[in-house]
Structure 1
């Protein structure tokens, strides 16, 4: 059990929620309306690190596709998916096969470019 001085710092999770909300182009009012909370409550979660109820936390991370793994699990765990990776996975899940071929070609080009730049710098 954590004592009062070891309380969990929720601010990084609040900032991740805010970043995901902004990246999706949603206002606090819109998110509040969707999950039935006051926008001020969301402001406190995002900016002050207020710990929401488990239900509200679940609703927020589900709606905004935020991964909590990296906040609770060891960084050495290779199976932990970051929020950005989960958001990209969500986008990829909604693409057609043709669109996935395009994404694959773009990723291949990025990888080749990155590898070439690494070789030039050595």
Structure 2
């Protein structure tokens, strides 16, 4: 595998995932465009794979849709999915009280048997 292929990012999957997340969050292209300070045409172009989001806009999009950038990239890039899932779990769990964390740990120990 060439270095270029190894570092390739699946932008076709990006457009599909961006659209799926927008719809899942009940957002219109106009709402997303307004929140990200871009045009609705830009969002349409991303969703239809005519352009790719910059890292800055991608990070704002992740925040807008309530996920981490890691999670968004993990949804797009299969080789990164496991790391992204771990990071998303840590991000969510870190907001919990110690009591809630203990309950989660107890549940995980039961599942892991």
TM range, normalised to the smaller chain?
0.5 to 0.7
Superposition map of 1:1-122 within 5 A:
9-21=10-22, 25-28=25-28, 29-48=30-49, 50-63=51-64, 64-67=67-70, 68=73, 71=77, 75=79, 81-82=83-84, 84-112=85-113
1:56–1:101 Cα change, 3 Å: same
Q: 1:12 to 1:49 in 2, by over 3 A?
A: farther
User: Do 1:66 and 1:87's aligned partners in 2 also have CA atoms closer than 8 Å?
Assistant: no
What's the TM-score, normalizing by structure 1?
A: 0.54
Is the 2:46–2:53 Cα contact (8 Å) retained in structure 1? yes
Structure 2, unpaired ranges of 5+: none
TM-superposed CA distance for 1:91, in Å, is: 1.4
Q: Over aligned residue pairs, what C-alpha RMSD do you find? A: 3.5
**Structure 1 unaligned blocks of 5 or more:** 113-122
Give the total of aligned pairs: 100
Bigger Rg, which one: 1
TM-score, normalised with respect to structure 2: 0.57
